[in-house]
């Protein structure tokens, strides 16, 4: 007779979801697209004839009529999305091009690429600098060179 520990070990593993296989696998693979469990022989999409093969595809799709990139959804087949785009007059599901990244608060000192959360604006030249170049002498301020300090003449 089996111990209680042996009974727990007999419940380990899962059977392959392919009807012709049904192999008991102790380290089964779960398909990310259809959610079924498979043995090592049927873990690939082609091996188990996954019905959702095109759902996880990340390739960009271009409309053959307007040459715009179509937004992909993981939950709809690709052909349905392209058809929806074309039927809308090429207005629906159009991908927006990414905007150029802002160069906010970037130090304007030569060859310095630092960015600061709060900008340091020089009061003389009115340019933005990082913490290391915030003083007029550190960034060779031209505005400071123009402002000549006045000295008191002694007679």
| Predicted pLDDT of residue 41 | 93
pLDDT of amino acid 1: 47
At residue 93, the pLDDT reads 84
Note the pLDDT of residue 155: 54
The whole-angstrom separation of Cα 60 and Cα 136 is 50
**Burial of 34 (C-beta count, 10 Å sphere; 0-12/13-18/19+):** middle
Give CA–CA dist 70/75, Å, rounded: 15
Residues 85 and 63: beta-carbon distance below 8 Å: yes
Task: Read off the pLDDT of residues 136-151 as tens digits, 9 standing for 90 and up.
Answer: 888 888 875 555 454 5
Q: Are 42 and 50 in contact (CB under 8 A)?
A: no
Q: Residue 29 corresponds to which tokens in the numbers above?
A: 């693979």
Those residues of the chain that have pLDDT short of 50 are: 1, 148, 150
Q: What is the pLDDT of residues 47-73, one digit of tens each?
A: 998 887 766 556 678 888 888 888 877
Report the Cα–Cα distance between both ends of the chain, in Å, rounded.
118
């Amino acid at each position: 007779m089996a111990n209680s520990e042996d009974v727990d070990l007999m419940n380990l593993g899962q059977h392959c979801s392919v009807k012709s296989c049904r192999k008991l696998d102790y380290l089964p693979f779960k398909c990310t697209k259809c959610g079924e469990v498979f043995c090592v022989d049927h873990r690939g999409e082609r091996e188990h004839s996954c019905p959702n093969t095109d759902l996880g595809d990340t390739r960009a799709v271009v409309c053959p009529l307007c040459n715009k990139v179509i937004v992909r959804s993981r939950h709809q087949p690709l052909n349905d999305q392209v058809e929806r785009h074309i039927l809308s007059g090429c207005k629906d599901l159009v991908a927006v091009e990414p905007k150029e990244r802002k160069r906010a608060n970037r130090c304007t000192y030569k060859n310095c690429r630092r960015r600061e959360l709060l900008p340091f604006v020089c009061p003389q030249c009115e340019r933005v600098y990082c913490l290391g170049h915030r003083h007029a002498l550190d960034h060779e301020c031209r505005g400071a060179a123009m402002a000549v300090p006045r000295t008191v003449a002694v007679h």
